[in-house]
Amino acid sequence: MATAVADPPGGATTVVLGDSFTATAPVIGHADDGCTRSPSSWPNQLARASRFAETPRFVDVSCNGGTIDTGHGWTLVHQARKASAQNAFGADTRVVLIQMGLNDVWGASTGTAFPSTDCLLNVVAGCGFDATEQHRLPDYRAVTGAGYADRVRDVVAFVRYHAANARVALVGYPEVFLSGQQAACMDLAGIGRVVQPRAEGYIAYLDRIQQAQREAAALLGVEFIDVCAITAGHGSCSAEPWISGLDGAESLFDGAPIHPNAQGNAAVAAQVQERFGL
């Protein structure tokens, strides 16, 4: 994507690219670009805390369904172009944050992790390791640091060229389910806590994404924000989950199921603000 032109002057202080874990996309909502972003998302909480909210100094182009390079929606390249069109990258850009990968296809399997009805919420077939061969889940074995780095490398190079002074960071994902466990659960309105006893494939995939992001950051020479560590102990099955279910009317407007809620996003926003001095 990089072109042989000089860095544009100015630029936003903070730029965010990401998927629904970034946007905390509400189930109900509307936006002109089709990308609804909850007021409680970690970027919006960060923008308010840093006093950049609703100013050109903070550009958030995250979108529900965003991917690195899978499909025809708001991929990482598309988001970078969108941010660039808003003059987001320049000499004054201090931080560029990228949170993507969960929605992508990995390996030979054509399955994706979201929407999760075909795997995680499939009470008959479950979401075990065999779901990969059944094309109901990405191939967790294909998720590697080198592979992740290769898929985001061009955009990282583009950002570095046009925002040479910026710190670039890959943002990890929260603790959705405890690493290594076999079962997964989610709270559903009128039903209570629903348990998927065979979720080891899904959980292995989440673990691999986390490790791949960390390794890719090292390979690319960028930073890694360990959101799983920030949200540890607050997964969907915990006594105090920072992951949304469908357990009340607010969840329809404040985050899709199996996505971070306002508390989890607040913790991430606070850590990002402190780390980068925003």
Lowest model confidence (mean pLDDT) among 55-59, 177-181, 250-254: 250-254
- C-alpha separations of 185 from 30, 100, 227 in Å: 29, 23, 20
Is the distance from CB of 66 to CB of 22 less than 8 angstroms?
yes
- Helix pair angle (200-220, 145-162), 10° resolution: 40
* Neighbour tally for 44: CB within 10 Å: 22
Q: Is 4 left (phi over 0), alpha (psi -120 to 50) or beta?
A: beta
Which pLDDT band holds residue 237 (cuts at 50, 70, 90)? confident
pLDDT of residue 130: 95
pTM for this model (two decimals): 0.92
Lowest model confidence (mean pLDDT) among 83-92, 200-209, 233-242: 233-242
pLDDT of residue 120: 87
Query: Is pLDDT above 60 for 5?
Result: no
Considering all CA atoms of the chain, what is the largest pairwise distance in Å, rounded to the nearest integer? 58
Nearest to 76 by CA among 165, 164, 176, 159: 159
pLDDT of residue 4: 43
Query: Beta-strand (E) ranges in 33-128?
Result: 58-60, 95-99
Tokens of 232: 């540890």
Q: What is the pLDDT of residues 86-137, one digit of tens each?
A: 999 999 999 999 999 999 999 999 999 987 778 988 888 999 999 999 999 9
Q: What is the pLDDT of residues 241-274, one digit of tens each?
A: 898 865 544 454 455 678 898 999 999 999 999 9
